[in-house]
Amino acid sequence: MDNNGRRTFLGACLGGIAAGFAAAVLWPVYRYLAPRSGGGASAKVVIPEKDVPEGEAKFFEFAGASAVLVRKRGGELVALSAVCTHLGCIVQWEKEKQDFLCPCHAGHYNADGVVTAGPPPKPLAKLPFSLANGAITVG
Amino acid sequence: MMMRSLLTGLAVLVAIAMGCGPVQAEDIVCITCHGALPGKYGEPVKLWQGSIHAENGIACNACHGGDPKDAPNAMKKERGFLGAPKYNDVPEFCGRCHVGVLKDYLASGHGRALTRGGPNCVICHGSHQIVKASLELINEKSCSRCHSYERAKLIRGAMQETEGIIVALDKRIAGYKAVGTDTDRLEKELFSQRNRFHSLFHNVDVKRVTAESTQIQAELKKLDTTLKGLDEQGRKRKLAGAVVVAGALLAGLLVHLLRKTFD
Amino acid sequence: MELLKRLYKWVDVRVGAGEIVEKELTGYLLPRNINAWYSLGSVLLFIFALQVASGILLLIYYVPDADKAFKSVTYIMNDVPFGWLIRMCHAVGSNMMVAVLLLHMLSVLCMGSYKSPREFNWLTGFILFTLVQGISLTGYLLPWSQLSFWATTVATNSANAIPVIGPQLVEFLRGSKMVGPPTLGRFFALHVAVIPAGIAALIGAHLFLLKRTGVSKPPFGQSNTTNQWKGDSYRYEDHPGGIPFFPNYALEDARSVFIYLAIFMAVVFFDPYLFFPKDAFLPANALVTPAHIKPEWYFLANYQTLKIFPNELIGLSVQGAAMTFLALLPFIDRGRERHPLKRPLFLACAIGGLLLWIGLSVWGHYS
């Protein structure tokens, strides 16, 4: 093969690889920039209202982690993550005291998830929920 | 040695910042005083320094009360000082923080035997050099102080497998954490299962232990599946990497050959 | 093909593209004995472009707020598609840039290309070296990890030893007494806007000077390897009978870039955490200093030097003197000889200096 022929051949091969590289760069960049779809963690959970009487708490699973619905004295509903913000244990509801106690290191939260005693650094995360036709939809 | 000046300067800066924050464990008067005392008065400090409590910033006053900043009044009752608890009061003492464990213990054979000479917390865990709980605490030497090791051995056997799985998962998660993977959920879930598992330790009912262990292993399997997913993702990325590197080398070779045609 | 030719003609009659191609590409002649080391500059340009591109992409998701920075980087690494790739390219790329820069500097030193009339080129290059160190230092803080926080604390603390203004200088650098949100703010502005602009400007100057003076001829394969420059008037150093930049040397540049890409991608895909201790993945905690904080590998020699000297000021001054010496090298070494083996004093100092730097770095790593 003479020089010119070689050049054309090599040029063509390089062109192919360059196109491959271009695709290998453009595809990830496109995906990186593209707007994200809703996401799988938006699976909602529906709980009938009557399952949460006044002064009681109902624990359920939401977005792969433990969550809790509380109906405070006076009727107000609160939806919280039940994962203790200290080291991740699941908190327990104390009916007599109307608060949450973490059995691992005695962290205390009030019915709104605010830390009242112990090592937890942050309040229990609030979860969005809506009420309609006697059913509570969390998420 | 010369690093001392740099480190001291740094420590001073850190200490200044800390004046506004929580008192660093090493500065409390309990340690300053007892650390220098001989014999049994100074020993707890050294033992505590090797403990998991020390690692997490839980110092003397957290358990014994008292004033950690005011030396003359540090051990006054008015400042909340509780002193060393009596033998039968030890479970309540530790149970102020370890609520769940106290509940399990009191319901267990050991707890019910407390007032009849049964073991309190420090008999197995020690009082100051308390380390991260593991199955090692159930051993012939420790258990045969009061009774034969038979049943304890069965319980340990039943739990050994689960303990092994937990330790292995912990290592794998740590491995992924060290490469920037968001292991938050995994760590919390493992921690939760580990705690659930360890609450079995205080229950000396063999049947219950075996049943719970099976359930816990099922939950742990889920973690294993997640980690396997991460492993697979890692493999795919490495494969893509190999293709890219090969492509670059090939391109380099082609350019080299092309270059030679111009000589 | 015919279409391309027509397009080219259309542009040429308006802009004189043909003339430019003739002058800068096919007609730009390089010495026949030019070697691959001369392509490191192009590799550096390529790396810089990659850093800017990956940096801009990271800017889209990164949040420069002390409370959110670490989480935003975790988000990029775990949830954004290919975020891990962009981030690792940027992090590994910064280390590669320093490594290739050191090699480039080494080759210039070896071939005596810093000598007259190229003093300006050496100076702009030296400033670029300093700017690259600065951009690496400021970038290091941005993920707001334990490593970021404490490495920045140690690094900014070194200014403390400067007499009279030391402590105020440290506070000014940090924007507060301790490293904190004000530090993140100013380091972010420096890293993303000020220093890149500076680097771009200096690259422009560096390349202009290169083109204006003409590429130096490697001192190999000839009997007379002394500097022929007379210094009486400006003269472009041409290389008649040399090889054209395009396509000949452009292809060598491309080859070097591809080899670099292969090495770079191998690191990114197979061991990107080479430069990441585990403290890099713990969020910054102002109250807990990790046990073995060390700076990046290219700062280890500086770190170790500070540790050796009993007085921090002496440690700093020694480093300052070394850097100044390096910066002013073309004015200190005025010898005409360019071949490395014919410059025994230079070679001794250079090899000694290099071994010292490597030795200090290794020591710094293990201390």
The answer to whether the Cα torsion of C275, C276, C279, C281 is positive or negative is positive
pLDDT score for B8: 46
Whether residues C312 and B5 touch (CB distance < 8 A) is answered with yes
User: Within a 10 A sphere around the Cβ of A97, how many other Cβ atoms?
Assistant: 12
B chain contacts of residue C148, beta-carbon cutoff 8 Å:
none
Pairs across A and C, CB distance < 8 A: 17
Longest dimension (CA), chain B: 98
DSSP state of C145: B
C364 in A contact zone (CB under 8 Å): no
Name every chain A residue with its beta carbon within 8 A of the beta carbon of B52: none
Tokens of C61: 């998701």
Tell me the C-alpha distance between C81 and B237, whole Å.
12
User: Does A14 contact B99 at a Cβ distance shorter than 8 Å?
Assistant: no
Asked if the model's pLDDT at residue A102 lies above 50, the reply is yes
* Side-chain-side CA neighbours of residue C91 (13 Å): 27
**Sheet strands side by side (includes A57-62):** A57-62, A65-71, A77-81
User: How confident is the model at residue A41, as a pLDDT?
Assistant: 52
Half-sphere exposure of B18 (CA within 13 A, CB side): 18
Q: Domain-by-domain residue ranges, chain C?
A: 38-217+241-366
Distances (CA, A) of A118 to A101, B70, B187: 10, 23, 21
Contact between B92 and B102 (Cβ < 8 Å):
yes
pLDDT beneath 50, residues of chain C: none
Q: What mean pLDDT comes out for the span A51-66?
A: 86
pLDDT digits (tens, 9 = 90+) for B90-127: 999 999 988 888 888 898 888 999 999 889 999 989 88
How many CA atoms, within 13 angstroms, populate the side-chain half-sphere of residue A110? Answer: 5
Encode pLDDT of C145-156 as tens digits: 999 999 999 889
Distance CA C51, CA C47 (A): 6
Q: Which of C136, C178, C132 is nearest to C154 (CA)?
A: C178
Domain boundaries, chain A: 1-34, 41-138
Q: What are the chain B neighbours of A20 within 8 Å (beta carbons)?
A: 247
Q: Is B98 on the interface with A (CB under 8 A)?
A: yes
C-alpha–C-alpha distance, residues C255 and C39, integer Å: 9
Q: What are φ and ψ of residue B156, in 5° steps? A: -60, -45
Q: Identify all chain B residues contacting C273, using CB atoms and an 8 Å cutoff.
A: 178-180
| Chain A residues in contact with chain B using a Cβ-Cβ cutoff of 8 Å | 3, 6-7, 10-11, 13-14, 17-18, 20-21, 24, 64-65, 83, 87-90, 101-106, 118
> What pLDDT shows up at residue A1?
60
Rounded distance between C-alpha atoms, residue C320 and residue C340, angstroms: 26
If you write DSSP's letter for every residue of C154-202 in order, what string do you get? HHHHGGGGSTTTHHHHHHHHHTSSSSSHHHHHHHHHIIIIIHHHHHHHH
Task: Tally the residues of chain A.
Answer: 139
Q: For testing the chain C interface, which of B184, B244, B257 should be mutated: the one with the most C CBs within 10 Å?
A: B244
d(C-alpha C243, C-alpha C212), whole Å: 18
Closest among C201, C186, C21, C59 to C128, alpha carbons compared: C201
User: Does the structure show a pLDDT above 80 at B14?
Assistant: no
> Residue A98 carries which side chain, given as an amino acid letter?
Q
> What b-and-e string marks burial along B193-202, b requiring 16 or more CB atoms within 10 Å of the CB?
bbbbbbbbbb
Identify the three-state secondary structure at position A84: coil
Return the residue in C76, C82, C285, C288 with the most chain A beta carbons within 10 A, the one to mutate for interface testing: C82
Please confirm whether the linkage preceding B22 is cis (ω < 30° from 0): no
**pLDDT for the residue numbered B26:** 62
Q: Where are the alpha helices (DSSP H) in chain C?
A: 2-15, 17-20, 40-61, 69-78, 83-110, 119-141, 146-157, 166-174, 181-189, 195-213, 250-270, 300-308, 312-327, 329-332, 344-366
Residue A41: CB atoms within 10 A of its CB come to 10
Q: Of C104, C122, C339, C108, nearest to C220 (Cα)?
A: C339
**ipTM reported for the complex, 2 dp:** 0.85
Q: Is the CB of C80 inside 8 Å of chain A's CB atoms?
A: yes
pLDDT tens-digit map of C201-217: 999 999 999 999 989 88
- Kindly identify which residue of chain B lies nearest to residue C279, measuring between CA atoms: B178
- C251·B245 Cβ contact <8 A: no
| Token digits of residue A58 | 């109902």
- Residue A38: which pLDDT band, with cuts at 50, 70 and 90? low
Residue position matching structure tokens 């008999």:
B123
In contact, C205 and C191? CB cutoff 8 Å? no
Tell me if chain A has a CB within 8 Å of the CB of B125: no
Greater model confidence, C121 or B154: C121
List phi, psi (to 5°) of B124: -95, -35
pLDDT of residue B213: 84
Owner of token pair 């010369």: B2
pLDDT on residue B25:
54
Of C343, C101, C310, give the one whose Cα is nearest residue C203. C101
Whether residue C58 contacts residue C91, with contact meaning beta carbons closer than 8 Å, is answered with no
CB contact under 8 A, C269 and B21: no
CB contact under 8 A, A106 and B250: no
Cβ contacts of B158 within 8 Å, gap of 6 or more? B206, B209, B210, B213
Whether the CB of B16 is below 8 Å from some CB of chain C: the reply is: yes
Q: What is d(CA B83, CA B77) in angstroms, rounded to the nearest whole number?
A: 9
CB A106 within 8 A of CB B97: yes
Residue in B24, B241, B259 closest to C270 by CB: B241
C287–B3 CB contact, under 8 Å: no
Question: Is the previous residue joined to C117 through a cis bond, with omega within 30 degrees of 0?
Answer: yes
Q: Which residues of C touch A33 (CB under 8 A)?
A: 57, 60
Amino acid at site A131: L
pLDDT of res. A50: 87
Position B212 scores a pLDDT of: 84
- Is the per-residue pLDDT at B15 higher than 50? no
The residues facing C207 across adjacent strands are none
| Size of chain B, expressed as the number of residues it contains | 263
d(CA B158, CA B107): 20
What average pLDDT does range B231-246 have in this prediction?
94
Q: Is B207 left (phi over 0), alpha (psi -120 to 50) or beta?
A: alpha
Residue A123, classed as helix, strand or coil, is coil
Question: At residue A93, what are phi and psi to the nearest 5 degrees?
Answer: -90, 130
pLDDT at B242: 95
Q: Is the CB of residue B239 less than 8 Å away from at least one CB of chain A? A: no
Torsion angle, alpha carbons of B260, B261, C3, C6, to 10: 90
Model confidence at B146, pLDDT cuts 50, 70, 90, reads confident
Name which CATH class applies to A41-138.
Answer: mainly beta
The structure tokens listed for C233 are: 């008037």
Chain centre distance of CA C171: 27
Report how far Cα A67 is from the mean position of its chain's Cα atoms.
11
How many Cβ atoms are within 10 Å of A24's Cβ, its own excluded? 15
Say yes or no for a CB contact (<8 Å) between A14 and B261: no
Question: How many C-alpha atoms does B140 have within 13 Å on its Cβ side?
Answer: 1
Question: Residue C303 region, left (φ>0) first, then alpha (ψ -120 to 50), else beta?
Answer: alpha
> What is the Cα Rg of chain A in Å?
27
- Amino acid B227: pLDDT: 93
Dihedrals φ, ψ of A67, to 5°? -135, 170
Q: What is the pTM of this model?
A: 0.77
Domain boundary assignment for chain B: 143-263
Q: Where does the pLDDT of residue A42 fall: very low under 50, low under 70, confident under 90, or very high at 90 and above?
A: low
Residue of B nearest to A24 (CA): B244
Comparing CB atoms, the residue among B182, B248, B263 nearest residue C258 is: B248
**Assigned token pair, C346:** 């230079």
How does pLDDT run across B172-192, given as a tens digit for each residue?
999 998 888 888 888 888 988
Contact C328, C322 (CB under 8 A): no
Class of domain C38-217+241-366: mainly alpha
d(CA B224, CA B166): 10
- C138, C152, C163 from C44: Cα distances, Å: 19, 26, 37
Residues A113, A100 contacting (CB under 8 angstroms): yes
Query: What is d(CA B73, CA B53) in angstroms, rounded to the nearest whole number?
Result: 24
Per-position DSSP letters for C314-347, written without gaps between them = HHHHHHHHHHHHHHTHHHH---SB--GGG-HHHH
